[in-house]
Amino acid sequence: MSDELYSEGFQVVTLGAVKPDGTPDIANVLFSFPVPHRQMSVRQAVKIDEVPVPGRSGKVKQAVGYEDTEITIGLSLVDDEDRGGVVTRSALTQFEELQAAFRDRSDPVGDDAKTAKAPYAVPTIFSIQSPLTDACGIKTVLFKGLEVTDQPGDTALEVSLTFTEFEPVARQVERRAREAVVAQQAAAEVTPPAEKKHDEAVGEEDPLAAAYRQGKSDAMGGQPQ
């Protein structure tokens, strides 16, 4: 099950910094841009897990949580001109600023060059604020995608920005642990009585402890050392 909401009118979207603990620092504004009517959408969906039924064909579907929310923004960039018709800030310059926010291609210099592990900066996490994202309870996002299209014979650019909701690692661990518990409970409901008796006889790890351990492992990219 999914739901998609659209902006009902002109909105201003603000992207800000994120504090070291992963919480939004919206007061530290990095980018701010107007979004036209219905050019911003927020898609939310339920996460479905399929549990195999021992001794039977097919699987049982179980809602275990929510997918990360997807945010799409469409922009039309045009040259900014003064009263005399002189271009003060071109559409291309405006796009380059968005490009730098998505992927910094500058080479590290000085001490940074010695410690750099990759030629490009890692994807950036932003705090976000707008009437639509506020209504959906979205505070921090990952800049996930950037698409640009030029117009023949025109300097204007059509740009599509894609963001996905991002949670601090601690919240990811907690959420995945809850989802794992729900999935284990669903599996227990469809396990034949004979197998349940076997599990009780040999003993097994507490479901909540196992779920927390697995959720932490998934969030950290593997078992902790």
What pLDDT, on the 0 to 100 scale, is given for residue 61? 80
pLDDT tens, position by position, 169-187: 545 555 566 656 655 665 5
Distance between CA 41 and CA 94 in Å, rounded? 22
Domain boundaries, the chain: 2-166, 168-225
The answer for 145, left when phi > 0, alpha when psi is -120 to 50, beta otherwise, is beta
Distance between CA 181 and CA 58 in Å, rounded? 21
| Token pair in block for residue 52 | 């195999």
What pLDDT, on the 0 to 100 scale, is given for residue 49? 81
Q: Which residues of the chain have pLDDT under 70?
A: 1, 53, 55-56, 106-122, 168-225
Q: Taking the CB of residue 177, how many other CB atoms lie within 10 A of it?
A: 21
What pLDDT, on the 0 to 100 scale, is given for residue 218? 61
Domain spanning 2-166: CATH 2.60.120 = no
